[in-house]
Amino acid sequence: MKKALIPASQQPSRGNLVTRRRFVGVLAVGLASVRSSRSLAETRISTPRQTEGPFYPDRLPLDRDNDLLRVGERTATARGRETHLRGRIVGVDGAPLSGALVEIWQVDANGVYLHSADRHARRDAGFQGYGRYLTDASGEYFFRTIKPVPYPGRTPHIHFKVTPVSRATFTTQCYVQGEPLNARDAVLNSIGDPAARALLIVPFVPVSESPASVLNARFDIVLA
């Protein structure tokens, strides 16, 4: 199955930025949603901010859709455990923020970012490393990616950047529930309030009917 490429110079507008792999959207609707025990959209507690970090891609890939497991028209898929990551972007009043640009980026299965300065290991060319999605009318987003892995100095995490319509950009990070390295991660533990810190940690749950042990994860974001 092929993916359409977007020229690197073309920055899609909010009006035409949609996923180009329709099957990914179908997966998002067809699979049962997995909600954490403390869904941010339900508690309406503002999501803690986190640093963008030094490895936001310094050159965005041609392929920027919400399927990070396949790059362009290549047949090879990324190494790592397939994860369906979804959530809602809402305000503290619970109102969904539709048309918000959601960007994610993370290391590949070798612990390498899509960034020219990250060269401590060979990067998996089959992993897109970065994706974007415009939220729908209910504030929902969806990505097909891999379960994050650790790299020297950091616990597994996924970076998020959210740019709502007529609002400032918000950055944070999503972490894996039950990961032992969480207790020693300096960025995560820079959030002094344990309750606030827990809002960034979500379960990655196996899809019972999936023979390939696909994971579901839900990370809702509440913006003040």
What domains, with CATH codes, occur in the chain? Answer: 22-223 (2.60.130.10)
Give the residue from 35, 14, 31 showing the smallest Cα distance to 133. 14
What would you report as the CA-atom Rg of the chain, rounded to the nearest whole angstrom? 16
Instruction: Please give the residue that has the higher pLDDT: either 16 or 97.
Output: 97
Residue 149 confidence (pLDDT): 98
Residues 143-176 have pLDDT tens digits of: 999 999 999 999 999 999 999 998 999 999 999 9
Tell me what pLDDT residue 95 has: 95
Cβ pair 153, 87 in contact under 8 A: no
| Residue 31: per-residue pLDDT | 43
What's the CA gap between 41 and 223, in Å, rounded? 10
Measure the CA–CA gap between 218 and 203, rounded to whole angstroms. Answer: 8
Higher pLDDT, residue 70 or 51: 51
Q: What residues contact residue 101 under an 8 Å CB cut-off, 6+ apart?
A: 14, 17, 132, 133, 134, 162, 163, 164
- Residue 78 confidence (pLDDT) above 50: yes
Q: 58 Cβ partners below 8 Å, 6+ apart?
A: 115, 116, 117
Task: Please tell me the number of Cα atoms within 13 Å of 167 on its side-chain side.
Answer: 19
pTM of the entire structure? 0.82
Per-residue pLDDT, 137: 97
Structure tokens at 186: 């300096």
Q: How far apart are CA 224 and CA 22, in angstroms?
A: 32
